[in-house]
Structures are given as C-alpha cells and as structure tokens.
Amino acid sequence: MFRPKLPDVPTLPTMPVVPQQTQASAPFAGRSLAPFAVAVAGVVVVGVVLTALLAAVAVSAVSVAIAAVVLRSLLSGANKR
C-alpha cells in the first residue's frame, strides 16, 4: 500500500543493427602523405638538434664568463698584496 510503483524498464530492440560501411575519400587522391610526414619529421628533428646545440653554447659561454670574472678578481687581489 505504501510502496511506490516504479515504471517498467524499457527493453532494447532485438533486431541486430548492422553499421553501414562508408569509404572515406582521401584528401589527395592517388598521392601518399608519407613523403610530407618524413619531411616534417626531419625539419622538427633538425630544429630540436640545433636548439640543443645553441643552448649548450650559451651555457658554456656563461660558465666561461663566470670563470673569467672569478680569475680576474683573484688576480687583481693578488697584485694588491
């Protein structure tokens, strides 16, 4: 008497649904995109390598400059004594 009445759960259709197969058209008919992908990958790799070399040169230059300043201060302090 005090129990709520729940609605019946709808059942799914029993017919199997077969997906329709559609053939997607290629962006460039008859041409492969592989050479373009290789070229882009090559440019990216060369860019990464050159950036790493530039960073290494910059770090080396900063360390040489710091060493020069330290040596200069040590030598100028030795000449005053």
Task: Decide if 1 is inside a domain.
Answer: no
Task: Decide if 46 is inside a domain.
Answer: no
Reported pTM:
0.49
Task: Decide if 36 is inside a domain.
Answer: no
HEC-encoded secondary structure of the chain: CCCCCCCCCCCCCCCCCCCCCCCCCCCCCCCCCHHHHHHHHHHHHHHHHHHHHHHHHHHHHHHHHHHHHHHHHHHHHHHHC
User: What was the pLDDT predicted at 7?
Assistant: 78
Q: Consecutive sets of 10 residues in the chain, 81 residues long: mean pLDDT of each?
A: 77 69 60 81 95 97 96 82 58
Report d(CA 48, CA 41) in Å as an integer. 11
Structure tokens at 74: 């040590």
Structure tokens at 41: 């990958």
**How many domains are contained in the chain?**
1
Domain holding 68, by residue range, is 53-81
